[in-house]
Structure 1
Amino acid sequence: MTPPDLTALTTELLRKHGEGQRARIERGVAQVAALWRPEDGDLAAFVREQFISDQAQLDATFARLESVFEQIDGHTHEVGREVRRATEVDVGPMLAVDPLLATYDPFAHVTEDLFQAKVGFVVLLNFPQTTLAERLEHGPKYSRRQWAEARLGSRFSRRVPAEVRQAATRAAADADLYIAQYNVWMHHLVDETGARLFPAGLRLISHWNLRDELKARYADPDGLKKQQAIVKVMERIVTQTIPAAVIDNPHVDWNPFTNAVTAAPAGEVEADAPNREVVTDGAREDDVRYRKLLANFHAAKREDPFVPIAPTAIARSFELGRELPEARVKALLEQVLTSPLVGRTARLIEQRLGRPIGPQDLWYAGFRGNASLPEAELDARTKARYPTPEAFARDMPRLLQGLGFAPPRARFLAEHILVDPSRGAGHALQSLRRGDFPHLRTRVGAEGMDYKGYNIAVHELGHNVEQVFSLYNVDHTLLAGVPNNAFTEALAFVFQARDLELLGVGKPDAASERERVLADFWATFEIAGVALVDVATWHWMYDHPEASPAELREAVVKIAQDTWDRYYAPVLGSPGTPLLGIYSHMISYPLYLADYPLGHLIAFQIEEHIHKAGKLGPEFERMASLGALTPDLWMTQATGAPVAAEPLLRATEAALASAGAPPRDAGE
């Protein structure tokens, strides 16, 4: 079929609809032509029939599409949630078919089906498809309807074949299942004398629980030795020198320093331990971690040709996902990493610890109130209060009232959030239509919810509350959500920071506020470098698309070491450690990690605003109801200023002075 003369077609439409429609006609015809394929049929006939110039008809079409897309997205999302349920929720032993079901993506064909039905082209013909530059420049003057139209147009900015989407889903589901089952039985870690370092039954998922266990050991008189063992476990995981036999296996003992594996004595094997073969040859895990990462990369790369405006997964992550340029995000992170406040904070930590700071102190927890409480005491409180996921669900109204939500609002939120027992560390799963509810997935052991699980559950509750407000309160469902993942992380951090207060451990005062600032700064410093490793790894994979898993492993280790040596070794020592490569997100949530340091910066600005405004509940609801605007516009409307690192840095400097931290060195 001969392609139509677009100039002649535009002229024809102008004669029919008038000069006042010129901008819409030129833009709409160009948008349709960019994604139209020969098999789609007669482009000119479609444009003649479907261009809408009457405003009343345009309004009715917009309303119809918004309503229909909410139902399509919402119900399709529910199907996806159900096919993954057995791999994400602890519903008993998994069946052989469950991992296969989890790879099914009901969204895979939706966009292509809408293009084939010509619905996508109706959108492109009649509504604007804006660029990031346009939204950044003109967005502050958009009406809410214009913002909703911009989100409607962006829905059809790419036309990715269903088989490409399905491949990405399979790779992600496979990686997610690998991580969800990656546990270490800590009672079976032994030192050089054969002594056990941790209590029986302690089974920790990597990396989340390993990190949180390390944090919890600051109140333990023998904590340093245990922390150093955890660091060595993490390093073994990153370098893939961990023996395959010790992964999720309580039938063998392991010295992570020597890497020796021995059969665990019968009396030391947990009574409820799953059956596993006893292998003591110490053969390392064969680069499985990096095979999963490569699979995600190759699946994402298949999408590149179909998204010319963002032709790499990295570009899509920043330009389309975050709507923040990579260079700006990197500059924000480096502003924290290179701050002289890092050295001063490190020296304050050394003062408090009474020993030289080390790599384990990347996760220093002494700026939190729980640092002085034994983990066992916190565990006892949470296990007694939450023996089951249902107990946490029943307590949500009280938790929400404790966070400043009025009783009717707290009940409304609790009624709109469902709690499930998680196979993994826990996560929040949004809903995409009104009438469906977000799910809070939390990990609860046989003896109840330990403090680590509770801390994560409060974080996920923050996600869920945002998800309720950002769906049910927005004026246009096309604007449902928040600007990007960093914002939902930021709002979740606001809840998580109050977990001890909700547990009845302490009340905020001037001293605790100072400690909160220092904790935020150190947490941002910690995760900023991890995020840089994640992004650098994807750049390396694009530069070496034919790399083997072994080559990728070597590259990730080198990237992690170099990043450590540049930003962390000057204050934490241990040059050459690959510790920054431990985060499981690198494997199961590609290119997500930058959202955490951004989230800390955003959360700090939100906290400052809430502190000035008063109660958390009403302000949290107002902010979460702004919808999916661009990041700086959302922040300006929420807090009065765009996303920035300076507020956290200023507050940290004041907090250090108040805490009696050492002054600046002459070279800082």
Structure 2
Amino acid sequence: MSRTVPSPALEDSLVARHGEAQRARIHRGVAQVAALWREEDGDLAAFVTEHFVSDPARLDATLARLEQALEQLDGHLNEVSRELRRPTDLDLGPLLPVDPLLAAYDPSAHVTEDLFRAKVGFVALLNFPLTTLAERMERGPGFTRAQWAEARLTGRFSRRVPAEVKQAEARASSDADLYIAEYNLWMHHLVDAAGHRLFPKGMRLISHWNLRDELKSRYADKEGVAKQRMIVQVMERIVTQTIPAAVIDNPRVDWDPFTNTVRPAPEEEVEADAPQRPVATDGAREDDVRYAKLLAQFQAARREDPYVPVAPTAIARSFELGRELPETRVKALLEQVLTSPLVPRVARLIEQRLGRPLEPQDLWYAGFKASGSRPEAELDALTRQRYPSAEAFARDMPRMLQALGFSKEKAAFLADHIRVDPARGAGHAMQAMRRGDFPRLRTRVGPGGMDYKGYNIAVHEMGHNVEQVFSLYEVDHTLLAGVPNNAFTEALAFVFQARDLELLGQAKPDAASERERVLNDFWQTWEIAGVALVDVAVWHWMYEHPEATPAQLREAVVRISQETWDRYYAPVLGGKGTPLLGIYSHMISYPLYLADYPLGHLIAFQIEEHLQKSGHLGKEFERMASQGALTPDVWMTKATGAPVSAEPLLRATEAALTH
């Protein structure tokens, strides 16, 4: 990785050839190339002499050609990867032993290095400016669209990571993702001390998404508190890895999560279509698999550190390169919500409504949402009847999109450009990366149809997909395809998800329900902000203890989760010392992603505030999404008139509480 140092004579010769007016561009371009040039790349002087472009028309043509070529390259490789992952991502039946191996293969892992070896990456660095985050934040508001495209072009060549390092990261990610996708619990087989079964037969919930959503749904249940407490106990067992290995995705054993005892389930209680599983009842806990998967992700990511001097840790890459928001600023935004004096005021309101002191499960209080007062079974009946299959959801998308405010023609265009598949896991959206391909909406559909949890997730993923269509097909430069970072696509998805009941034919919100929406957004942001801090703190701990074992990592995650809970949540919810914040599956399968959710809530609220003023969801959503991948504050200022901030949510929460 030794750096090549170009001679001053080389720059002088290029200036003599292209003119003094090009000196600054020559100096910058040669330096950018030299920083990543290796001895095996050949003759640096010959390369820059041949490929430096000074003619403006030829420079524009070079940018356009690279943009077109990279769109096709990225897009087709994305399609290959999607096909390799199809059996592990979709609910297509039992996996073959070879399927996880195919899913772990990343066909794009070699692309950046191949483009450097083919000198394509060096052509980009020689002729277009490589900007720092500080420069983009300072000068970005004045960039032309072409300048933004140039910045995104060179940004992809800002580091040169060996293909074997990227492939190792892909294998670790795929392995963790499959582990999480198959982490289900059969709720009918949870029993209390008296042997009572609190949940209906056939309910199979994935951790953590479905467990959390089931907990949230029980606020409309007269016996819901006992069920919620049991789910919290299950979650704590998962985090501490004291869960018996025999109960994971096994409907043939009963488990009391409080005493942690396991016994064979009576034959009459076993689901008719239950898969065959060994009936081990020794209660042996799951090995530290959860933390072995996380540790493998860390070790794979750590191998990339030496190749990215501008962001030499996965944490820095997550914030500086991924989000384009400094870690300190993100933490400050989260802590502004976590420590807000509005938290105890909202908590008191929840306590009044529940008629009891708050408990740890109330981290996920759902009573502000209209669905929180509706029995889950009632909502399930609605969605199962309407969506017996993924195809039925796809057929209904044009109607839903029109109901959201898109014109009939635009709704048809969007529905034609989105494909819906049944998910093996909880559900997700998969973007397309070239025009001519289509984003995928993956959602879970049970044997009896799509339940409300699956529907709610599907509406969220539809929001992702609509953004993905607009930010690919309607952006003026495909180098700008997408949005600033994951928090923005989450925010736009939240806009759809917040209207899921309207799309089922329920009443549109009035002033009172709008205040409830604000309080719900605030509480959800408060909830996930602490989870995000745990995620980041765990990665800092791993960097401080790079030789840690899975058991040591487990102890650290539990401790960090407990300390974060005790600082921000115990004063409001009690439960001192609970490791509950460590339950989120993203920590294992999507490391360092969780901060995008509270950021997404803040961004979504700013977007919602703007949409209410404009009154045109469809047109404004399209305008915002088609801006493309600008930096966060530039995108937000163009979209809503102000940079990313927590203040709009806090102001609105204060107003909602006052009313």
Same fold (TM over 0.5): yes
Deviation at 1:2, TM superposition (A): 12
Which residue of structure 1 lines up, in the alignment, with residue 572 of structure 2?
Answer: 571
Which residue of structure 2 lines up, in the alignment, with residue 549 of structure 1?
Answer: 550
Deviation at 1:8, TM superposition (A): 1.6
Which residue of structure 2 lines up, in the alignment, with residue 666 of structure 1?
Answer: none
Which residue of structure 1 lines up, in the alignment, with residue 421 of structure 2?
Answer: 420
Cα gap change, 1:2/1:276 in structure 2, threshold over 3 Å: closer, same or farther? closer
- Which TM-score applies when normalising by structure 1? 0.98
Which residue of structure 1 lines up, in the alignment, with residue 83 of structure 2?
Answer: 82
Which residue of structure 1 lines up, in the alignment, with residue 222 of structure 2?
Answer: 221
Cα gap change, 1:54/1:184 in structure 2, threshold over 3 Å: closer, same or farther? same
Q: Do 2:431 and 2:465's aligned partners in 1 also have CA atoms closer than 8 Å?
A: yes
Question: 1:168-196 deviations in whole A, cap 9, x for unaligned?
Answer: 00000000000000001000000000010
Question: 1:21-65 deviations in whole A, cap 9, x for unaligned?
Answer: 111101100000000000000011101111111111111111110
2-side partners of 1:394 and 1:648: how far apart? 36
Q: Equivalent residue of 2:521, what SS?
A: helix
2-side partners of 1:268 and 1:142: how far apart? 65
Deviation at 1:92, TM superposition (A): 2.0
1-side partners of 2:133 and 2:111: how far apart? 24
2-side partners of 1:147 and 1:654: how far apart? 39
Cα gap change, 1:8/1:510 in structure 2, threshold over 3 Å: closer, same or farther? same
Q: Do 1:129 and 1:157's aligned partners in 2 also have CA atoms closer than 8 Å?
A: yes
Q: Equivalent residue of 2:420, what SS?
A: strand
Q: Do 1:6 and 1:29's aligned partners in 2 also have CA atoms closer than 8 Å?
A: no
Which residue of structure 1 lines up, in the alignment, with residue 434 of structure 2?
Answer: 433
Cα gap change, 1:5/1:94 in structure 2, threshold over 3 Å: closer, same or farther? closer
Q: Aligned pair 1:643/2:644, yes or no?
A: yes
Q: Do 1:471 and 1:480's aligned partners in 2 also have CA atoms closer than 8 Å?
A: yes
Counterpart mapping for 1:611-626 below 5 A: 611-626=612-627
Q: Aligned pair 1:250/2:251, yes or no?
A: yes
Identity among equivalent pairs (%): 78
Which residue of structure 1 lines up, in the alignment, with residue 457 of structure 2?
Answer: 456
Deviation at 1:629, TM superposition (A): 0.3
2-side partners of 1:441 and 1:347: how far apart? 38
2-side partners of 1:239 and 1:195: how far apart? 25
Cα gap change, 1:2/1:122 in structure 2, threshold over 3 Å: closer, same or farther? closer
Which residue of structure 1 lines up, in the alignment, with residue 604 of structure 2?
Answer: 603
Q: Do 1:369 and 1:506's aligned partners in 2 also have CA atoms closer than 8 Å?
A: no
1-side partners of 2:508 and 2:122: how far apart? 56
2-side partners of 1:230 and 1:399: how far apart? 33
Question: 1:571-605 deviations in whole A, cap 9, x for unaligned?
Answer: 00010000000000000001000000000000000
Q: Aligned pair 1:61/2:57, yes or no?
A: no
1-side partners of 2:133 and 2:248: how far apart? 44
Question: 1:394-413 deviations in whole A, cap 9, x for unaligned?
Answer: 00001101100011000000
Counterpart mapping for 1:40-439 below 5 A: 40-439=41-440
Question: 1:326-372 deviations in whole A, cap 9, x for unaligned?
Answer: 00000000000000100000000000000111000000000000111
Question: 1:94-139 deviations in whole A, cap 9, x for unaligned?
Answer: 1111000001101111111100000110001001110001101100
Which residue of structure 2 lines up, in the alignment, with residue 34 of structure 1?
Answer: 35
Q: Equivalent residue of 1:184, what SS?
A: strand
1-side partners of 2:3 and 2:555: how far apart? 52
Deviation at 1:215, TM superposition (A): 0.3
1-side partners of 2:572 and 2:480: how far apart? 44
Which residue of structure 2 lines up, in the alignment, with residue 477 of structure 1?
Answer: 478
Deviation at 1:3, TM superposition (A): 5.5
Q: Do 1:211 and 1:363's aligned partners in 2 also have CA atoms closer than 8 Å?
A: yes
1-side partners of 2:445 and 2:616: how far apart? 31
2-side partners of 1:49 and 1:564: how far apart? 60
1-side partners of 2:655 and 2:359: how far apart? 25
Deviates more, 1:12-21 or 1:113-122: 12-21
Q: Equivalent residue of 2:258, what SS?
A: coil
Deviation at 1:4, TM superposition (A): 6.0
Q: Do 1:429 and 1:438's aligned partners in 2 also have CA atoms closer than 8 Å?
A: yes
Question: 1:605-644 deviations in whole A, cap 9, x for unaligned?
Answer: 0000000001211100000001100000000000000000
Q: Do 2:244 and 2:283's aligned partners in 1 also have CA atoms closer than 8 Å?
A: yes
2-side partners of 1:195 and 1:142: how far apart? 64
Deviation at 1:10, TM superposition (A): 1.0
Which residue of structure 2 lines up, in the alignment, with residue 519 of structure 1?
Answer: 520
Question: 1:363-383 deviations in whole A, cap 9, x for unaligned?
Answer: 000000011111000000000
Which residue of structure 2 lines up, in the alignment, with residue 593 of structure 1?
Answer: 594
Q: Do 2:75 and 2:433's aligned partners in 1 also have CA atoms closer than 8 Å?
A: yes
2-side partners of 1:423 and 1:24: how far apart? 51
1-side partners of 2:374 and 2:563: how far apart? 36
Question: 1:395-439 deviations in whole A, cap 9, x for unaligned?
Answer: 000110110001100000000000001000000000000000000
2-side partners of 1:7 and 1:232: how far apart? 68
Unaligned runs of 5+ in 2: none
Return the letter of the residue paired with 2:521: D
Which residue of structure 2 lines up, in the alignment, with residue 489 of structure 1?
Answer: 490
2-side partners of 1:4 and 1:263: how far apart? 70
Deviation at 1:507, TM superposition (A): 1.5
Deviation at 1:506, TM superposition (A): 2.0
Return the letter of the residue paired with 2:297: N
Q: Equivalent residue of 2:35, what SS?
A: helix
Return the letter of the residue paired with 1:238: V
Unaligned runs of 5+ in 1: 659-668
Deviation at 1:657, TM superposition (A): 1.4
Q: Do 2:383 and 2:449's aligned partners in 1 also have CA atoms closer than 8 Å?
A: yes
Return the letter of the residue paired with 1:200: K
Which residue of structure 2 lines up, in the alignment, with residue 661 of structure 1?
Answer: none
Return the letter of the residue paired with 1:356: P
Q: Do 2:459 and 2:500's aligned partners in 1 also have CA atoms closer than 8 Å?
A: yes
Q: Do 2:3 and 2:35's aligned partners in 1 also have CA atoms closer than 8 Å?
A: no
Return the letter of the residue paired with 2:434: R
2-side partners of 1:29 and 1:6: how far apart? 10
Return the letter of the residue paired with 1:278: V
2-side partners of 1:4 and 1:410: how far apart? 55
Which residue of structure 2 lines up, in the alignment, with residue 447 of structure 1?
Answer: 448
Return the letter of the residue paired with 1:508: P
Q: Equivalent residue of 1:592, what SS?
A: coil
Deviation at 1:6, TM superposition (A): 2.6
Return the letter of the residue paired with 1:436: D
- Number of corresponding residues: 658
- Which TM-score applies when normalising by structure 2? 0.99
Q: Equivalent residue of 1:84, what SS?
A: helix
Q: Equivalent residue of 1:401, what SS?
A: helix
Return the letter of the residue paired with 1:163: E
Deviation at 1:5, TM superposition (A): 4.1
Return the letter of the residue paired with 1:80: S
Which residue of structure 2 lines up, in the alignment, with residue 662 of structure 1?
Answer: none
1-side partners of 2:9 and 2:306: how far apart? 29
Question: 1:544-592 deviations in whole A, cap 9, x for unaligned?
Answer: 0000000000000000000000000000001000000000000000100
